[in-house]
């Protein structure tokens, strides 16, 4: 419900909740070497923290399901190509690109920008209201499964997990 525009400056990796936070921003500008993805499933969890809301809205259901069900990470250039993020630039150009976009936004009338953002986000708010309770409940439940316990144990023991579907 934030009316002010939020511009994400992404460098490094944004995974899981970090990816959801980045993707919920209004404009996302990334270092071309940045990675973004939601690997919840790889550790036995449901993507209940916003991934199930925002990914389909940005890239469609087919691509979103592929990304959320595989848990794969994307390079910034791949994320731009599929419409997940706005820009991928070399690291030395990142700050200048952020400044450019912020300057363009702030150069427009404040209320026009705020109300445009609010109007565009109406559908997203409706989707979030429909999806979040269920997604969070599934994530909480998935935290109690044997596969989740195996993921944690395998991580601690520095080995590949052996999932059983339980």
In a domain, 141, yes or no: yes
Low-confidence ranges of the chain (pLDDT < 70): none
pTM (2 d.p.):
0.91
In a domain, 165, yes or no: no
Tally of domains within the chain? 1
In a domain, 54, yes or no: yes
SS3 readout for the chain:
CCCCCCEEEECCEEECHHHHHHHCCCEEEEECCCEEECCHHHHCCCCCCCHHHHHHHHHCHHHHHHHHHHCCEEEHHHHHHCCCCCEEECHHHHHHHHHHHHHHHHCCCHHHHHHHHHHHCHHHHHHHHHHHHHHHHHHHHHCCCHHHHHHHHHHHHCCCCCCCCC
Query: 21: domain range?
Result: 7-91+99-157
Which tens digits make up the pLDDT trace of 72-95? Answer: 999 999 999 999 999 999 999 999
pLDDT at site 120: 96
The CATH number linked to 31 is 3.90.226.10
């Amino acid at each position: 419900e934030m009316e002010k525009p939020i511009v994400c400056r992404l460098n490094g990796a944004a995974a899981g909740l970090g990816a959801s936070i980045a993707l919920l921003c209004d404009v996302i500008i990334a270092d071309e070497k940045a990675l973004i993805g939601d690997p919840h499933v790889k550790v036995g969890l449901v993507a209940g923290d916003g991934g199930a809301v925002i990914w389909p809205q940005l890239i469609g259901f087919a691509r979103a399901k592929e990304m959320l069900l595989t848990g794969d990470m994307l390079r910034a250039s791949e994320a731009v190509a599929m419409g997940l993020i706005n820009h991928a630039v070399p690291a030395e150009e990142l700050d200048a690109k952020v400044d450019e976009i912020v300057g363009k936004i702030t150069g427009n009338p404040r209320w026009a920008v705020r109300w445009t953002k609010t109007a565009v986000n109406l559908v997203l708010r409706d989707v979030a209201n429909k999806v979040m309770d269920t997604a969070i409940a599934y994530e909480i439940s998935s935290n109690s499964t044997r596969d989740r316990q195996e993921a944690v144990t395998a991580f601690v023991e520095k080995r590949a997990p052996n999932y059983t579907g339980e």
